[in-house]
Structure 1
Amino acid sequence: MRGVTDEPRHTTPPRIDDIAALAEQVRAALPEPFRTHARAVAIHVEDFATEDVLTEMGIDNAFELTGLYDGIPLTERSVMDQPDRPDAIWLFRRPILDEWVERGEVTLAEMVTNVLIHEFAHHFGWSDDDIAAIDQWWE
């Protein structure tokens, strides 16, 4: 993606702030009109998803969840909706770092870009099947 740069080689694991900075670069590099809509979404970075989130999603291993969109997709909104909080994307640092190391051939910036774009796609109303049809990241 245009404008997203990778960080120098790390001698220690990238911190939450490092992942957040990469995510902000990704958001800033989105083409219009996506960038405008993406600005309304909060981006949070934590080490792992909470136990409540993992339980709700039926996930036993916290390392299996790299990101999560929490909100109402744009395609499902109504003028009658009164949101109780802003839409948010959660990036989970430790699972992202694990997958980055496992893959070996991708940069951290590419890894964060993939996870964040996947979650923004949910914000724009795309299903997992829609995303998989154009982005076969797992291959």
Structure 2
Amino acid sequence: MAKSDKTRQLRLAQRNAIELLLAGKTDQEVAEAVGVSRQTINSWRNKDELFRAALDARRQELWGAYVERLRQLIGRALQVLEADLLQDDDRRLRQSAAVHVLKCVGLYGANLEPTNPTERWLFDDWTDARLERALKRFWDDGFTES
């Protein structure tokens, strides 16, 4: 009689399979490495709730570590971008870098029009024509410190 799911433990082959799957191996490669069929790996991934839960938990653990590493790089990445934006003579590079920065912070292509009526007057004062002229000066004249 099989143990209930609450007390059942993953076998060594399943624990190894999880690590290999997270390393980017295919089901076939994992199956060969742990000594089971590809169908078994597929069954574990799609039907075995304990295996799926362990795989998801391990995936979350890894992603958490990756996210933390990325957070630690943000300061350095911004310094590099800032230096390129302020110093590079290649206009296309500056434009590309600026667009990537805006995309990363969710502002590229965003509707920045305020929904708060008390802030609306600030936005209304900034017409499309003024914005277009400012952007033209920005790209044509390059970045300048105010």
Q: Would you tell me which structure has more helix in proportion to its own residues?
A: 2
TM-score band by shorter chain is: under 0.3
Larger radius of gyration: 2
The normalised TM-score by structure 1 is 0.23
Could you say which structure has the higher strand fraction?
1
